Structure 1
Amino acid sequence: MAIYKFPPKQEVYDLINQANPGLTKPLTATNCVLANPVVIAGAVYPASNSSIVVSPAPGNNDYIGKQTLKYNRRDLSKMFRGITVLVKKYATRAPTTANQLAFTIYELLPDINRLYGLNLTEDDVNTGNILRGSTLENGQYTTTVTVTTKATSLAYIGSFALKWLNTPQSLVDMITSLDLDGRKYPGGNLFDETHLPILSGEAYRLDFTQTLTNVGYLPPVLAKQNFSWNSTWINLMAACCAAINTASGGRTNLRSYVGGENYKTHPGSLVGMQFQVVALPSTEFPELNSRFYNRCMIVFVPDDCPWAVGHILHHYNV
């Protein structure tokens, strides 16, 4: 929570207006100009430690003349006496050596203000480099620097120690999109009368080990490719299609090689589709059932298929 909410210049104008309620018009940056403040030597609190000259802004007719005022700038040396200002923050630059830059002081001003309720700006303090360093604290790099105020700061004098401690990357910083779209089914998540049948689930639960054993061919691991429609593959795919059609209770009418057919012109035809055989578990296809099977033959339904979407999954063991 901010203790000092407003920029230093606005704070000075507010101090003047509060102390002088008889002003015909409040002083603002539009009608008055603030000179650089000056330290009052030897001042001891509660005596004011600074003076400043206020004069009319050029071209403004609200006031004439100028006036010297006294006020207290906040002394950061006293505010943080015995305290090291600590900012824990992941260094996105990921410095790998001690002399590489982690942050500049200016880059950490928003964090300092948020943590300590201040309103420091680049007009108030001098910048400086915070290097990664070689000091470790709980396994993380840390560096301490001194932050000094500018002589022209309207609200602050003094200095303070600033300690930066690297931290692991925060999910708060990394995950900025909080509303998730959710998993998208093949063909989209709008399940109306226009949505094509999804084949991915039709064969997922089936065990094709015996079906392929009966055909006499358990396909080895193969990269994605077109079917070679020789007699072995025709018999193999015909047996798989029959097993899926029976298990679906009539929802599917899949067919392997039939002369003159292809998936674009004949619903149910696998001609023209590609396939791949993967060993399980698979990092490429983590959704496959590696708990009970060590192989899966995937038939990829092309995006331009007019009658179905998804993949046809044939799990088996070798």
Structure 2
Amino acid sequence: MNSWRQRFSLIIAVLSVLILSACSGNTTASSGAAPAGKTHLSIMVGGLNKQIYLPNMLTKQLGYFDQEGLSVTLIDEASGQSSENQVLAGQVDAGSGSYNHTIDLQAAGKQMQCVVQLDIAPGEAEMVSAKETGQIQSVKDLKGKNLGVTELGSGTHVLSMALLNKVGIPQDQAHFVPVGAGDTFIASMQQGRIDAGMTTEPTISRLLTSGVGKVLVDLRTPVTTQAALGGPYPFICVFMNNTYIAAHKDVVQKLVNAYVKTLQWMHSHTADQIADKMPADYYAGNKTLYVTALKNQLSIFSPDGKMPEGGPESVLKIEQQTTQSVQGKTINLTKTYTNEFVDKAN
């Protein structure tokens, strides 16, 4: 009997060890631990399937994160503004969103810095509902209209206010409606919830092809952006908390190296070749349209990841005109971006 009890106790002990090991393994997997020898980073992106954010997924698809010894998790979020909040809260290591957020944050006493610039122009367009084209033929006609933006406080919201400001329309004389992008933006225009709105590719091309909307102001190239806004407007970047950057320069350098490789790769390949590397569900059921949309705005992607000269000053000027929290504040632009890592990567 004692022998049987000893064997039974041994079996129970072994089972307990196996169960504890399994539980431990599940905890590790859910926490996003990196494979042996790799540093794990989580990056929240303000809309992975929007083409303006394309370099994020493309870097992963090309294997450049892996080459730098990084295990990167890309987290999809509605807008860049949501990304900045998660970075500040320490929930993610980096965010990908509009550069202007770093200026807004400094005005609020918080510090975040762009470490690599992905887009040197917005890659957006102010679209007008086909139902409203008879009434809306210029930006001046947007007064009193319902204008769609990704999210209140987002980059699309600021750009919309900048266009209104340029023609002398106070921002409180338009109604901004948060409608997201893609299907939700298109549905809002079809249903008459919005008369016009700022959105990205491939939503722009989907609206044009379906006849639901038309372009009022095109910000899909650096040249048209300069004409519409009166200066350059660097847009999507990768930003990180300044304290994290100072404490993890080696990791930041590896991250920037990966992104710079991607940007260089993009400028030596065609839109078709770039599209081939992207997940099929990004095409929204029409790869040809996706490629056409990409061709329309390839020039917005930075060739080297550097902040363009004069870009920060131009963005700050628009922020001071459109964003109340920035008005009257002294902003140190050198703390909102850095070319330190990009210079080494190039």
Place the TM-score, normalised by the shorter chain, in its bin.
Answer: under 0.3
Higher strand content, 1 or 2: 1
Return the index of the structure with the highest Cα Rg: 1
TM-score by length of 1: 0.23
Q: Which one scores higher on RCO, CA 8 angstroms, separation ≥ 6?
A: 2
